[in-house]
Structure 1
Amino acid sequence: MALDYRWLHDTVRKRFESDEAMEAFLPKALTPEELKQKGDDRYLSAMSRRVFQAGMQHSVVDAKWPAFEEAFWGFAPEKMALLSPEQIEGHMKNERIIRHLAKLRTIPQNAQFILDVRQEHGSSFGTFIAGWPSADIIGLWRLLGKRGARLGGRSAAGFLRLVGKDTFLLTSDVLARLVAAGIIGHEPTSQRDMQVVQDAFNELQQTSGRPLCQLSAMLSLSINPRF
């Protein structure tokens, strides 16, 4: 089965006073060039922020992030990859940050992941992210989950949304709409299920010309108006 984009658009449009209000509300993705220009320290910072957001209120993590930036010298991957276990444990004494040892240990691990990707592809991590096709965004999720530290599950998509890479999110509302439309029968757990979801988004994108992030938001709004 397929989702009817015209129905989706008209359903969501009713939530807003005007076309302009709806467009202003929908999220925006960065262009490939903007993603390339973003420093790899920003990608490591976003990875780390997403790791800490998992299981916590995002606002709590966001409020403390300036202290993280200071404690970890701006998240330069070259420096962070060299952090020793003793140095990481030393940050457990810093009351200004969130002291979660297992999550702190992901910082040098993900720094090395970024450096490895740079070496393998001969370009910045941002260039690698920018070049990944949105038509296979679940493939990028798999790579992040396999090679990154604590970037599995919904954290991969959450990280990509933080850095501005176009991606959909499988929130409970998005899943509810996909189930109601007969695209899936339950939350996708297998790669086959995930490909069905990707195919549905690809078809919507081809029909609408909209980025995945906006289609994801529209699917969510069709279930939960949030007003």
Structure 2
Amino acid sequence: MEAFLPQALAADELKRKGDDRYLSAMTRRVFQAGVQHSVVDAKWPDFEQAFSGFMPEAMALLDEADIEGHMQNQRIVRDRAKLRSIPRNARFILDVRQERGGSFAAFIADWPAADIIGLWRLLAKRGARLGGRSAAGFLRLVGKDTFLLTSDVVARLAAAGVVAREPTSQRDLQAVQDAFNALRQSSGRPLCQLSAMFALSIHPAW
């Protein structure tokens, strides 16, 4: 069980990541949505090459002509709407850096786990195509501690009487956050491990 459980990165490890890694992870999560993750993962080295490592300053300057050029690249997943998210998310990262006077990495690292749904909400509001489960998926990719609301996790929460169905309202999401916070405090385990244990209690992996 211990070997199976995911590990979250410490705040200093998250801060050492370049902001290009956060834009890369955002883009990867956007392209994973609605398709088999393995398809996107297999092509990711080509994405990194095509977008020159996802430096936010350069990616924020992508225009429609650039997007059309990438639509001709058969080595990547060609989805015009998802490609358009890259300059939008790059600008989001640059805006946060300007507002906070520091790196986007520090912004993510310093966000309290006790209000991870607040970070989900901000990413969905200000980022491009980061609503639904994508915000949590992006955070999991970069190593930020977060729970995931998979069907198995929701089933365990429903069985415990925390929610009646998949939480979408802020009231239900707060109830979920409160439940995870209480378990995190009593167990000493991070949100990502509690989330995995919830899922395994419904659908064992072995």
TM-score interval (norm. to shorter):
over 0.9
| Offset at residue 78 of structure 1 (A) | 0.3
Using the alignment, how far apart are the partners of 1:31 and 1:77 within structure 2? 23
| Offset at residue 84 of structure 1 (A) | 1.2
- Which whole-Å deviations, capped at 9, do the CAs of 1:83-132 have from their partners, x for residues lacking one? 11111111110000000000000000000000000000000000000000
Using the alignment, how far apart are the partners of 1:217 and 1:167 within structure 2? 11
Mapping for residues 49-64 of structure 1, pairs under 5 Å: 49-64=28-43
DSSP 3-state at the match of 1:144: helix
DSSP 3-state at the match of 1:120: helix
Matching of residue 139 in structure 1 with residue 118 in structure 2: yes
Other-structure match for 1:119: 98
Other-structure match for 2:180: 201
Using the alignment, how far apart are the partners of 1:36 and 1:226 within structure 2? 33
Q: Give the one of 60, 63, 67 matched to 1:81.
A: 60
Other-structure match for 2:161: 182
| Offset at residue 201 of structure 1 (A) | 0.2
1:31 partner letter: A
Tell me the TM-score normalized by structure 1: 0.90
**Considering only CA atoms, is the larger Rg found in Structure 1 or Structure 2?**
1
Using the alignment, how far apart are the partners of 2:81 and 2:124 within structure 1? 16
Q: Give the one of 189, 194, 201 matched to 1:215.
A: 194
- Which whole-Å deviations, capped at 9, do the CAs of 1:9-53 have from their partners, x for residues lacking one? xxxxxxxxxxxxx11110000000000000000000000000000
Other-structure match for 2:18: 39
Using the alignment, how far apart are the partners of 2:158 and 2:102 within structure 1? 40
Using the alignment, how far apart are the partners of 2:132 and 2:4 within structure 1? 26
1:97 partner letter: I
DSSP 3-state at the match of 1:215: helix
1:54 partner letter: A
Computed over aligned residues only, the root mean square deviation of the Cα atoms, in angstroms, reads: 0.4
| Offset at residue 222 of structure 1 (A) | 0.4
What are the ranges of 5 or more consecutive residues in structure 2 without an aligned counterpart? none
Aligned length: 206
1:181 partner letter: A
Tell me the TM-score normalized by structure 2: 0.99
DSSP 3-state at the match of 2:71: helix
Using the alignment, how far apart are the partners of 1:164 and 1:151 within structure 2? 16
Using the alignment, how far apart are the partners of 2:134 and 2:90 within structure 1? 16
User: After TM superposition, which residue ranges in structure 1, 4 or more long, deviate above 6 angstroms?
Assistant: none
Other-structure match for 2:170: 191
1:115 partner letter: L
